[in-house]
Structure 1
Amino acid sequence: MAMLSTLWKNVWLQHGQLVFDQDFFQSIQNYVAENSTSAQSDVERWCSFLSRNGIEELTLHLFVLRSMFKLPICIFSCHTIKRLKLDSLIVDFPANAPCIFPGVTSLVFDSVELNGVASTIPNLEKLAFLGDCEGMDKFQIIAPKLESLCHISGYSGFEPTWFAVQLNRIKTLCLSGGSFLWRRDIVTAVLNSSTTAINLQVMELHDLSFSCELQISTAMTLLQKSPNLCELGIGAAMARAQYEEDTLNHLEDPDHYFINQDMKMLKTVKIDGFNGSRLEVLFIKSVFSKCPALERVVIHPAWSIIDALMGMNILRELACFPRASPNAQLVFLEHESTYNLVGYNVIDEY
């Protein structure tokens, strides 16, 4: 604790939570600049102390002066950490380690650099990739207890075969349409896989473009592989009329562009940022006709269609459309921009 005043020597022991993040390091930039060779060793000393003294939740955000620190090796073997978030770090997985992060149940990577292939994380239940995570396409951990997988990252995503395997066990899936859903190899791997997302109950698709055939193809493939899905949340990307017309002109069968089989367990569908495009309306009609257990379709419109007349025209068209479920309700709400797509915030759950 050489960077801190001696007045802090005993004060910090009285607190249950300690935060050594970007703000902390910015306040001591001059020290780090003058002692750059010792900064990494200081981080390692702090982490070593914490790992020996029963720490259960740890967030490391250590991006300082355009340089990235390496995750100290002691964290990989710490048995007490249960919730771990690594932000702006270099993570060099230890070679030939049979087990890493042995006690971790929730793991978040945010804008990290991943090097090497991880081994088994025995108790991991929730895994998330946020920001720009380099090397995640080579990330092939074994996590027998994994239940929740999240990818809201600028990078293109997981290794396809590994992802297809995870679909067999997870209950919650959160993906970004702006990067992950562009992957044709993901569609191929999922379709060729003999496994089904039999346990998947909640799916969130952020920044999904209804006019992009590749994104929709990937998304609908995932839906078809999820027979027990109960809740679907979609954050719609801004509609582009030209792209929508091109897509509609290429459709051989508009009625089967989206869901082409019954989703027997789907009860709730929520669309945030609804633009009122023809493809979005077509999707909702597909949900109405293919979901016999449907209870609610919730629409949060984008600012661009607050116009009351347009909203009423859409409501009138959808209200008259036949529904497979006699209990299905259409809920049209005022604009609300949120990551909380399906009843709770998946990202905050990590």
Structure 2
Amino acid sequence: MDSRSEEKVVARRSRYVVEGGHDYDCGGSPQQRQRRDISGPRSKTPMTDLSVIAGSRRLRRGGVIGGSTSGEAAVNGGKCGGVHQRWLKETKIETQKKFVLFSPFCNKFERNKRRVVSCPEEDRISKLPEQLIDSILELLPIEDSVRTSIISESWRYRWTTMGALVFDKHFSNKFANNGAFGRNGFIRIINQVLFLHKGPILKFHLHIPNISLDSFQEVDQWMSFLSRNGVTELLLTNLNQRYELPSYVFSCLELTKLKLVNCFFKTPLKFEGCLNLEELCLQDVDFGTSLCGNKINLPQLKKLILLTCKNVYNFNIKATKLCVLTIVACRDTILLRLLDSSCLFVAGLALRKPIQDFVRGEKINLATMLSKLPRVEYLFIDNYFLKSLVAEKIPKFLPRAISSLKRLWLFDYQLGDMDQLHVALCFLRNSLNLEKLSVTHSEMESRVDVGPASNHLESPNCLDCMLTRLQTVKIECLQGSKPELLFIKLLLAHSPSLQNFTITPSENTDAQKRFDIAKDVMQFRRASPKAKMIYLNPET
């Protein structure tokens, strides 16, 4: 057999390996290999690069492909390399469309069988609608979204149309830990992302870490860029010196959610308001004096949160659709002005300091405050705000009952204080539809005399009404004092619909004290036969 005929034989038998899917072994006697060659291919399914790689390894070992004899193997040993390259090039397109799965769990009779599985030419994610792809990219960290540009040519600029850019605390910490996040690096990265971005930016979160910034000139430029790109949600957290919000932000007519931390809130002189703003959260914000007398119209505002803000007296707004109001540790708050909304159903009011520590204090009584909350369903009040409501003698029954209140949370409550006790009992008497009561106790000073509070709780007319709708009571940080135990006894005796009563003692109490509290509580009479007592370990 001449050399040209030998090359044809090798090429034909190599195609059997690729196209026939027949498993040819290099082992066995020449007669066995010849019988396998005569039997021919068992299937017509093309194989893949894995089979080609396996075949090339057999050629390099000097084996025989297609059942050639030992004499043919000696002849093919020096020429099969070139032939192998030719048929590999010819079948490259076909082999890229299929792949072979080798099952490691097949029995001894099926170890060499191959399963052929079709693979699509394009990935499924690339065929998804662009809006869905943008939604997926927005769920990823910003650095991972940008890295998708190296996947393929079609993905190179896919991230540039995302509607949300989030440079949050996770982003800042990740670069800071790598040691490559200085002032220039922080500004350069955000500038590059904004420069390459295309289309509107609906959501923008910016966390400015505690790095040395000469000025906020770059931040002002970013705010100006956002105001021209239809931003609807802006979250700005600043850990540097207080940042004065530029006038560009107030020109964002599409803005629906705004959260600012450590900023100056200074509106333009002719600013009338944000007509589409629905949620406003301000933390460590200074309103200054420029807002005095200027009323900001927020007709769509539904949620307002003020945390440790300054000069709140100068923050004058008109929000007729306000539903949720939270004020924590804000000086100069004109509460009655902020409560001027008939839609308010969630209110959280916490001073966190005695009323004497504030520059301006608004003296209001309980009846006046509740008259501004005709639809409130959830009320959160801390101990200092409770005490501030005692501007005059607390009546047993208010002129108008709180028929809408369903959940009451008394935070840092001190039962040994008679003023707080009277306000709490007044809430219970006038809340006809109260369903859930949460009380978080605060540790009282040892010099406080709890005798008057204990005597008042033991009097027969302390709570001369039944809490017919009360179903759940949760008491936390229980110290085990006599007024606290008497208050629990009072609630159990006046709650005929009670289902769950959960008690969590304070972490400062020892094991013996916790056992004594549980023993005393279990002996109290219950008006509800379905009441279940739950005693939790504070360490869990």
Report the TM-score range of the alignment, normalised by the length of the smaller protein: 0.7 to 0.9
Deviation sequence 1:17-71 (CA, Å, 0-9, x none): 6442341xx23x1433xxxxxx2x6544433433443433322233523xx2333
Question: 1:72 is aligned with what amino acid?
Answer: P
Deviation sequence 1:200-237 (CA, Å, 0-9, x none): 33332322222222333334444444333322222211
Counterpart Cα distance in 2 of 1:256 and 1:330: 24
Is 1:226 aligned with 2:424? no
Is 1:55 aligned with 2:244? no
Is 1:146 aligned with 2:322? yes
Question: 1:301 is aligned with what amino acid?
Answer: P
* Residue of structure 2 in register with 1:129 after alignment: 306
Gaps of 5+ in 1: 33-38, 338-350
Q: Secondary structure at the match of 2:229?
A: coil
Checking the alignment, whether the CA contact within 8 Å between 1:157 and 1:180 is kept in structure 2 is: no
Q: Secondary structure at the match of 1:229?
A: coil
Question: 1:281 is aligned with what amino acid?
Answer: L
Q: Which has the higher strand share?
A: 1
Counterpart Cα distance in 2 of 1:331 and 1:258: 26
* Residue of structure 1 in register with 2:378 after alignment: 172
Gaps of 5+ in 2: 1-183, 340-368
- What CA RMSD, in Å, does the superposition of the two structures yield over aligned residues? 3.9
* Residue of structure 2 in register with 1:213 after alignment: 418
Indicate how the Cα distance of structure 1 residues 129 and 227 shifts in structure 2: closer, same or farther if over 3 A, else same: farther
Checking the alignment, whether the CA contact within 8 Å between 2:500 and 2:531 is kept in structure 1 is: yes
Is 1:261 aligned with 2:468? no
Deviation sequence 1:159-210 (CA, Å, 0-9, x none): 3575425422333222332x32231367789999866543333332322222
Is 1:21 aligned with 2:207? yes
Checking the alignment, whether the CA contact within 8 Å between 1:198 and 1:227 is kept in structure 2 is: yes
Checking the alignment, whether the CA contact within 8 Å between 2:310 and 2:332 is kept in structure 1 is: no
For residue 159 of structure 1, the aligned residue among 304, 329, 335 is: 335
Indicate how the Cα distance of structure 1 residues 241 and 203 shifts in structure 2: closer, same or farther if over 3 A, else same: same
Q: What's the offset of the Cα at 1:320? A: 2.4
Question: 1:9 is aligned with what amino acid?
Answer: Q
Q: Count residues with an aligned counterpart.
A: 320
Farther off after superposition, 316-325 or 162-171 = 162-171
Checking the alignment, whether the CA contact within 8 Å between 2:505 and 2:537 is kept in structure 1 is: yes
* Residue of structure 2 in register with 1:72 after alignment: 246
Deviation sequence 1:264-295 (CA, Å, 0-9, x none): 32222212212112111122222222333222
Question: 1:144 is aligned with what amino acid?
Answer: T
Counterpart Cα distance in 1 of 2:231 and 2:395: 39
Q: What's the offset of the Cα at 1:79? A: 4.1
Counterpart Cα distance in 2 of 1:137 and 1:196: 30
Q: Larger RCO: Structure 1 or Structure 2 (Cα < 8 Å, ≥ 6 residues apart)?
A: 1
Checking the alignment, whether the CA contact within 8 Å between 1:139 and 1:159 is kept in structure 2 is: no
Question: 1:103 is aligned with what amino acid?
Answer: N
For residue 91 of structure 1, the aligned residue among 265, 274, 278 is: 265
Counterpart Cα distance in 2 of 1:189 and 1:73: 47
Is 1:201 aligned with 2:406? yes
Identity of aligned residues (%): 24
Is 1:9 aligned with 2:192? yes
Counterpart Cα distance in 1 of 2:389 and 2:222: 44
Checking the alignment, whether the CA contact within 8 Å between 1:153 and 1:176 is kept in structure 2 is: no
For residue 505 of structure 2, the aligned residue among 301, 305, 317 is: 301
Instruction: Provide the TM-score with structure 2 as the length reference.
Output: 0.50
Indicate how the Cα distance of structure 1 residues 133 and 4 shifts in structure 2: closer, same or farther if over 3 A, else same: closer
* Residue of structure 1 in register with 2:494 after alignment: 290
Counterpart Cα distance in 1 of 2:432 and 2:438: 16
